Amino acid sequence: MKRWLFASVMLIASPGWAEWQFVGGTARADYYIEAASVRADGSRRQVLELLDLKVPDTRGNRSYLALYEYDCPTGAARILRSACFDGAMGGGRQTEQCDTPGPWTLPGDASASMAKLRIVCGP
């Protein structure tokens, strides 16, 4: 059931449907969020995010689509679920999927992660 639900979320957030908002980039990748996907649960927020690599990684993945959770009071974030694709912007063939939540992390001061936190949780 969880895999089907996540697949449904990924279909809804596919490049043809999502309104990806550019958050920042590096020489390696560009970072996007789907601001309309933000869901609140108390002081926590969930949002769909996209990492678009400029060159495929060593496994051939070109982009990563993930459901992130933010704890707004602490500024911590973690990945709840993710999927990898061999095409740009979540396109192409899905190559991997992870349904295990990752550890909580704190963003750096001038990072794309901090920019995402500000958009999702507010200033």
Q: Which domain holds residue 11?
A: 2-121
Q: Give me the DSSP letters along the chain.
A: -HHHHHHHHHHHTSTTT--PEEEEE-SSEEEEEEEEEEEEETTEEEEEEEEEESS--TTS--EEEEEEEEETTTTEEEEEEEEEESSGGG-S-EEEEE-S----B---TTSHHHHHHHHHH--
**Per-residue pLDDT, 14:** 52
The predicted-structure confidence for 79-103, as pLDDT tens digits, reads as follows 999 999 999 999 999 999 999 999 9
**How many domains is the chain partitioned into structurally?**
1
How far is the C-alpha of 32 from the C-alpha of 98, rounded, in Å?
A: 19
**Per-residue pLDDT, 104:** 97
**Per-residue pLDDT, 85:** 97
Name residues of the chain where pLDDT drops below 70.
1-17
CB 44 within 8 A of CB 70: yes
Name the DSSP class of 13.
Answer: T
How far is the C-alpha of 39 from the C-alpha of 37, rounded, in Å?
A: 6
Name the DSSP class of 14.
Answer: S
Instruction: Find how far residue 92's CA is from the centre of its chain.
Output: 17
User: What CATH number corresponds to the domain at position 98?
Assistant: 2.40.128.710
**Per-residue pLDDT, 54:** 97
